[in-house]
Structure 1
């Protein structure tokens, strides 16, 4: 056992109980639950934490955490840490709202860049982080995507932020993603400033926006509420100075502070594989100061900061709190949303990353498998459904999870979409081989990436289809169309007539004719009919001849008699045989009966 002179030790198992951590850092389980909820994790006091989550929370509360090991025993040492350089920090502001309501144009106007014109489809598709400098102070902006497929990225933005600027178009009003953005911010307990945009348009109605949002608890200050509303035109830079002034005023009232003297901690906003630098991530430093040559752990990856740049590509030696930075030197691509923790040594960083990896592997093994007969039967039935195997490659980690979730949520009756591999970076030869081995239908989907030369050549040789996209709408719609193309045709049958054989005629040079009475509906030449004897179908064929007395007819109705001949030379009619005439209709692929 470990012995400690001060602080507290927590033995490490598959997970760390919230109650145990609460005792170590002198917080109630409810306070820890609230902290986790702010980071998008809903847990209860009896649940367990991953080791990096526990370290993040402990350091947030001012404790120093180290990993101890002796033989096979492992533990966390949690000790109080003196705060010596607590200073005000810039606010982190997330811009949220419905698609095309002007979020990127607003940031473009604030930063004096032209990001919107560079984005495919003019819709932001990755979280961008930017720090702007104003006479009244600095502000860090996070820009979250507007498309509904990127709800997870918007939620992550809300969890990292101090203030949400909710952009609502004055001419369109409140939309579904507006409400979703409000819910994300309220769930994270983040104050909201409403920017009513596009007031330059003739049909603009800022009053209606206030009325609609008041139903969700965003009551304007002018109505004796607590929510700040600013009417703006991002396109014409109208009232932007007032909006920035309100952000700085609110942040001052919130008394945002951080300890610059401690080891840095933050969160990964975005990650990708850079062709020159390798695994790279955008990290928001939230506390402490990040320095060149610091060792760090980030999820299952670790490394040492060798290159650090700001959002404009300028090299940095240090990054204080509320600073977004681009970092390379990761051992592998981290995941967006992973905690970023500076560790005292490479040995401890490697040990902690290994521990996190083992915890996650253990959690994977504990995932439930089908246990009941019904669940097993469902798994068996899946095997009969045509499958579209997909290898998915994207440029940055932040896009990966939302695209995977969007593809998995596609409901195509009669077909199944299976993502056999997903990852970040260019399409490689191994991706092609994986798609080829999966099935003859295996395809590769690339989002903002391309295959390298060898992969492209191999794909032609293996006849693997590679499809490239830069706009999320196109990707989702095309995969849906491809999956629908796999659906085995289904048919709906409709009986249009019933009758009975009342006499059988043997006519020279013609053959055997069934004399029938049409009892229901009608008989139609060219339609299919089946002959049923004592409940058993003995023949199915096309009506090739219908005769009413001496006249050949194309159709004959209920209550009338007719002479009937079916295709395939059927002659074995008997009196009292039942005849059903029916039509079949192919159902739309992916449709319901």
Structure 2
């Protein structure tokens, strides 16, 4: 936005949600849906600002799929000012994305639902704002609802050092209804007033600086980034460096998908011309020439390699120590053997693995799940990896991410999956018919999803399928020992229990156990089951019988005989990712 007498001023604001709920057709936050998708809670404040006669238009390239990317747009006020909004998903999986967004904004609009109050993501957003030193404007949404209690929200926020003006603080609070559009103009005016007080300024001259908000690999365009310019003016032909890649800007597009020749501070812009896909959050720096860009990238790559070598060396040292200990233990176990016996023992231990192919070796350890993650954009992959970081059930099944990246499922992904006996997971990407046929031929699973919690649920099912089934005993009948006697079989005397069935029935072909004072004395099968003098297969409730066990066990009067069957039940992973 421009202020009188201040032609180089700009204002970039972040609309940061305080709480989010998972859904199948919308990403719902405190204000409802992200990106203006249909929601039972109504449109979000950012969408309502666009629809409230403030002059902004929404465009397909900024459309936000469920748990996908930031929603970046500009609102034009009737007074002539412009506000650029960066709307981030509120779900816990996108914590890193919200933190990144905080550092590229001048003001955060913290949206809290009047009926729900302060939630976990609200607190997280406040912490991000504190760490970045970014001031807040509080928007209390859903104030049109009967159960709305804006005053409770303000009081709850006091515990987190967010003090509204009416309590002597400096945080403006605006009661709004995104659904009805109430007070959205007042919210915009409050934001502009804070921007004027902060005297926000930007330098339109000099080398360009900015931040990558999102990145992806487009089939037609190649590597593409969405960025915010923070210093200088970006033009076609500029040479940029971000992370370990660089670009000579070929094309730029504004938020409406319209080609532009220049982008000034606080304006969202889509940039084409990158050699590789940089990461979301990378800093953009303009350099003087392509040669200088090569030098910067080469140096950054070298530094990263040195750091990796240092970390790898530490890991290798630990592994070597483990191997030495294992070797010494094996040597101790073989110490008492002759050299011929040692050779035979070592050959026997390794023979089985030597005959296995790589895939078969992986199958010998079913409690390992190797996965390949592919996503449409960098932020999607990052969000999934953030969820996987919470995995804490390695004792049940080890989860190994062997590869992750952006783009559709490729032959390389299938080759990795075949090598590691893994599963390929894709988020908002495709697998063409050739890839599908190749995967079917190789017996490789490809799981494609467009909703993050559906992908995680699928992964949980796959993890559960790798767990051994648990055995559950299902009681069929119970009997009490009322008398004890013995019969002669051959030259041996066999203990016999005279019993009465108290519950269910005794079925000779099932399993049995002998309980004495709450302790299991024996488990096994019956060698004999008689009713009077007749051999029988089943004894029902209330009937008397004589029985002997498949093992010589002395009975006591009062012992319990339990007839049961064993059933295998598939275990489920104990991992709780928070969905």
- TM-score when scaled to structure 2? 0.74
Any gaps of 5 or more consecutive residues in structure 2? 1-5, 21-27, 35-43, 52-56, 327-361, 515-519, 575-579
Distance of aligned partners of 1:544 and 1:333 in 2 relative to their CA distance in 1, 3 Å threshold: farther
Contact in 2 for aligned 1:90/1:137 (Cα 8 Å): no
1:436 aligns with 2:418: yes
SS of the counterpart of 1:88?
coil
1:102 aligns with 2:102: no
SS of the counterpart of 1:328?
strand
Per mean C-alpha deviation after superposition, the further-off stretch among 403-412 and 245-254 is 403-412
Contact in 2 for aligned 1:556/1:562 (Cα 8 Å): no
Contact in 2 for aligned 1:529/1:579 (Cα 8 Å): no
State the distance in 2 between where 1:375 and 1:515 align.
59
State the distance in 1 between where 2:496 and 2:318 align.
56
Distance of aligned partners of 1:238 and 1:170 in 2 relative to their CA distance in 1, 3 Å threshold: same
1:87 Cα deviation after fit: 3.1
SS of the counterpart of 2:173?
strand
1:539 Cα deviation after fit: 9.1
Aligned with residue 426 of structure 1, among 408, 431, 439: 408
- Give the corresponding residue for 1:447: 427
- Give the corresponding residue for 1:133: 76
- Give the corresponding residue for 1:564: 547
- Give the corresponding residue for 1:179: 123
Aligned residue runs from structure 1 range 149-548, under 5 A: 149-367=93-311, 368-369=314-315, 376=322, 384=365, 386-412=367-393, 414-439=396-421, 442-491=422-471, 505-507=487-489, 513-515=494-496, 525-526=506-507, 528-529=511-512, 541-543=524-526, 545=528
State the distance in 1 between where 2:196 and 2:413 align.
51
1:390 Cα deviation after fit: 1.6
State the distance in 1 between where 2:321 and 2:171 align.
49
1:546 Cα deviation after fit: 5.0
State the distance in 2 between where 1:292 and 1:485 align.
53
SS of the counterpart of 2:315?
coil
State the distance in 2 between where 1:588 and 1:460 align.
26
Contact in 2 for aligned 1:307/1:329 (Cα 8 Å): yes
State the distance in 1 between where 2:156 and 2:494 align.
74
State the distance in 1 between where 2:573 and 2:214 align.
38
1:351 Cα deviation after fit: 1.1
Aligned with residue 111 of structure 1, among 50, 56, 76: 50
Q: For residues 436-480 of structure 1, what are the alpha-carbon distances to aligned partners after superposition, in whole Å with 9 as ceiling and x for unaligned?
A: 2221xx222111111134322322322322221111111111111
1:512 Cα deviation after fit: 7.5
Distance of aligned partners of 1:512 and 1:350 in 2 relative to their CA distance in 1, 3 Å threshold: farther
State the distance in 2 between where 1:545 and 1:191 align.
83
Aligned residue runs from structure 1 range 63-102, under 5 A: 87-99=8-20, 100=28, 101-102=30-31
Q: For residues 295-351 of structure 1, what are the alpha-carbon distances to aligned partners after superposition, in whole Å with 9 as ceiling and x for unaligned?
A: 111111112111111111111222111122111111111111111111111111011
State the distance in 2 between where 1:582 and 1:541 align.
10
Contact in 2 for aligned 1:428/1:454 (Cα 8 Å): no
SS of the counterpart of 2:8?
strand
Report the number of matched residues: 486
Question: Over aligned residues, Cα RMSD in angstroms?
Answer: 4.0
Distance of aligned partners of 1:217 and 1:525 in 2 relative to their CA distance in 1, 3 Å threshold: same
Q: For residues 342-387 of structure 1, what are the alpha-carbon distances to aligned partners after superposition, in whole Å with 9 as ceiling and x for unaligned?
A: 111111101111111122222222224276699959x99x995612
Distance of aligned partners of 1:460 and 1:548 in 2 relative to their CA distance in 1, 3 Å threshold: closer
Aligned residue runs from structure 1 range 55-70, under 5 A: none
1:498 Cα deviation after fit: 12
- Give the corresponding residue for 1:45: none
Contact in 1 for aligned 2:68/2:379 (Cα 8 Å): no
Contact in 1 for aligned 2:496/2:548 (Cα 8 Å): no
Contact in 2 for aligned 1:504/1:574 (Cα 8 Å): no
1:86 Cα deviation after fit: 9.4
State the distance in 1 between where 2:315 and 2:486 align.
62
- Give the corresponding residue for 1:23: none
State the distance in 2 between where 1:115 and 1:484 align.
42
1:591 Cα deviation after fit: 6.1
- Give the corresponding residue for 1:75: none
